[in-house]
Amino acid sequence: MKRLSLIVFLCAGGQSAAAASSCVVERHAYALAENLEAIDVDLIGRATRSIDMAAYVLTSIPIVQALDAAALRGVRIRLYRDGRDARMPSRLAEAYNRLAARENVEIRYKGDPQPFMHLKAYAVDGVLVREGAGNFTHSGLRKQDNSLVALRCPAAVERFQKAFEAMWAR
């Protein structure tokens, strides 16, 4: 439990214990013991208003499909990508193109080669932020030693949104 308290404290921006106490760890998981891809699909599936996602790589078909299903429910999706993974198998390209064509979906690619945009994070409805080590790939979320932390923490969401807005504006 001390480890989770430290995560909450750090994600709350090192604020006071009182501020950090308003934070709740929604999920804290590690692959291979848990299927991080399924957790992401579940978290995305809960969105009702918005998803802001920063994804260095996004090749997980279940995650792309979950984003598309959210878009069909009327969720506004902004997806910021590094832009280095342009190759896609046809099944993924079809799902990704379907998502990109939705009226309430906007996708931007980082233009400058440096620095890498290497985040694997998103905010849901402005109330939950998900951070993790694994890329949004089947392998990264199911077959590699990676982590996922999802927090309901106003300070952590605010910090992510500030960083996301700065990237989005580039």
pLDDT of residue 20: 62
**Whether residue 8 has pLDDT greater than 80:** no
Domain 23-168 has CATH 3.40.50.1100: no
Instruction: Report how far apart, in Å, the C-alpha atoms of 151 and of each of 87, 121, 131 are.
Output: 32, 11, 9
Per-residue pLDDT, averaged over 140-145, amounts to 90
**Whether residue 69 has pLDDT greater than 90:** yes
pLDDT of residue 85: 58
**Whether residue 11 has pLDDT greater than 80:** no
Mean residue pLDDT of the chain comes to: 88
For the chain, domain boundaries: 23-168
72-113 pLDDT per residue, tens? 999 999 999 987 655 677 888 899 999 999 999 999 988 777
Of 96, 104, 167, 76, the closest CA to residue 136 belongs to 96
